[in-house]
């Protein structure tokens, strides 16, 4: 392979072994460890969101939730791996999954929106049965899978303005070859921590060599469930991310 001027494609040791770097980090991103989401009041903010901590006291609801939002439209963000710390658990469990921001809709007739499978808002051609106000729309980006570069079916396109941080020109992609989806109710998009059992006090590293991109308006939902006889316990989580920009 011909070398590009000014760029050294391969580096070698003195005994002619190729030097390589093992990393899951995409180009132009940096490692970012956090127990905190991003503020939703500023679409470019990093941090100042919800903390990934749940404390259960005797008498609290058996299942508790925390939602983490990340501003990723101008700061591409990938989940790499995670870490859990807990105290006084008694075979209690933690789940973590990606869920969408939800768009409010109402019943309608002869509209440009339909509801598929009870949760997905898809285009209609003037024969739709639900109505959505444009200012209510929460576009959820469906990123391409990192290794195959295949995007899941998505039924909407839109233009994004990096100056105003807003969308415009929302148009249908009825064949599923768009970039965004619109969700009428919350559904799990991907569960990547499934009922991990915790006992006594401890720390766990959920190690991975892979990455998954977080799409715009996807949320990370942390669920903590107390099992057996009611008891007080607590847990905290850390995510290892790769992000384009760190403030």
CATH number of the domain located at residue range(s) 34-100+188-243 in this protein: 2.60.120
How far is residue 121's CA from residue 130's CA, in Å, rounded to a whole number? 9
C-alpha dist (Å) from residue 189 to 30, 166, 185: 25, 24, 12
Model confidence, pTM? 0.89
The residue whose two tokens read 């003195």 is 14
User: For the segment 98-127, what is each residue's pLDDT rounded down to a tens digit?
Assistant: 999 999 999 999 999 999 999 999 999 999
Over residues 221-246, the mean pLDDT reads: 95
Note the pLDDT of residue 247: 55
215 by Cβ neighbours in 10 Å (0-12 / 13-18 / 19+) ranks as buried
* pLDDT over 90 (residue 2): no
> What does the domain layout of the chain look like in residue ranges?
34-100+188-243, 106-183
Over residues 217-221, the mean pLDDT reads: 98
User: For the segment 132-141, what is each residue's pLDDT rounded down to a tens digit?
Assistant: 999 999 999 9
How far is residue 97's CA from residue 244's CA, in Å, rounded to a whole number? 22
Note the pLDDT of residue 48: 95
User: For the segment 158-201, what is each residue's pLDDT rounded down to a tens digit?
Assistant: 999 999 999 999 999 999 999 999 999 999 999 999 999 999 99
* pLDDT over 80 (residue 61): yes
Note the pLDDT of residue 17: 81
């Amino acid at each position: 392979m011909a070398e590009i001027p000014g760029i050294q494609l391969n580096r070698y040791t003195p005994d002619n072994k190729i030097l390589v770097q093992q990393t899951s980090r995409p180009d132009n991103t940096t490692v970012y460890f956090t127990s905190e989401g991003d503020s939703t009041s500023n679409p470019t903010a990093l941090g100042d969101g919800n903390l990934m901590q749940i404390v259960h006291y005797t008498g609290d609801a058996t299942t508790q939730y925390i939602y983490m939002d990340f501003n990723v439209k101008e700061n591409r963000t990938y989940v790499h791996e995670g870490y859990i710390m807990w105290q006084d658990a008694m075979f209690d469990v933690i789940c973590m999954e990606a869920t969408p921001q939800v768009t409010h809709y109402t019943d309608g007739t002869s509209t440009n929106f339909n509801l598929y499978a009870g949760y997905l808002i898809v285009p209609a051609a003037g024969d739709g049965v639900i109505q959505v106000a444009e200012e209510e729309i929460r576009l959820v980006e469906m990123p391409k899978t990192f290794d195959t570069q295949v995007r899941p079916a998505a039924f909407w396109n839109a233009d994004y303005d990096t100056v105003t941080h807003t969308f415009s020109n929302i148009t249908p992609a009825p064949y599923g070859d768009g970039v965004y989806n619109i969700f009428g109710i919350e559904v799990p998009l991907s569960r990547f921590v499934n009922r991990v059992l915790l006992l006594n006090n401890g720390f766990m590293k959920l190690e991975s060599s892979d990455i998954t991109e977080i799409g715009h308006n996807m949320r990370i939902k942390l669920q903590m469930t107390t099992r057996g006889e009611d008891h007080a316990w607590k847990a905290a989580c850390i995510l290892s991310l790769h992000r384009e920009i760190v403030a």
